[in-house]
Amino acid sequence: MHHEKGFRRLPLSVKIIFVVLTLGMISSFFYINYIAQSGYPLLWITLSGTNAIIALFALNFLCTLLLLFGIWQRAAWTWEYGMLYFGFFALNGIISAGSLFNTLYFAPMQNFEALVNLFAVIFGIILNSIFLIIIYRKRFYFENEWRF
């Protein structure tokens, strides 16, 4: 089965993923300074400074750009890469949420920033999990062979 390339012929759920990923990739440039100062949680460690900026660029820009390219081209590897991509970010969120729970102590209102970060991480886990399911369900949409 051959599908036309580009945005117009994408199923609605994949269009939503495409738009959210694009906006997320663009918005990641607006919080480079925040990430450099507060850190970038990567699995069980928190990167800071230049390492955090490099991780932000690699994961939030390059990896996302590769997934967007695969979606646009209807590449056969896209659904597998999407599963890996969204699975990684969901797992990273789960680990980050565990770290944030440790910072809340017994007086949560004194840790308002940690609560906001925890809400953002939980929202990210849910969103990545939904996108993971969508990509899996739409796996047959992508071509069997991919060529430039």
pLDDT tens-digit readout, 59-73: 889 999 999 999 888
Show the tokens assigned to 40. 């970038």
Cβ pair 23, 15 in contact under 8 A: no
Q: What is the pLDDT of residues 37-48, one digit of tens each?
A: 777 778 877 778
Indicate whether 16 pLDDT > 80.
yes
Q: Identify the band that residue 146 occupies on the pLDDT scale cut at 50, 70 and 90.
A: very low
Instruction: Report how far residue 71's alpha carbon sits from residue 90's, in angstroms, rounded to the nearest whole number.
Output: 20
**Choice between 101 and 18, residue whose per-residue pLDDT is larger:** 18
Between these two residues, 96 and 104, which has the higher pLDDT value? 96
DSSP 63-121: HHHHHHHHHHHT-TTHHHHHHHHHHHHHHHHHHHHHHHHHH--S-GGGGHHHHHHHHHH
Q: What is the pLDDT of residue 4?
A: 65
DSSP conformation class of 145: S
Whether this model's pTM surpasses 0.75 = yes
- For residue 42, the cross-strand partners are 45
Choice among 9-13, 38-42, 74-78, 133-137 with the minimum mean pLDDT: 38-42
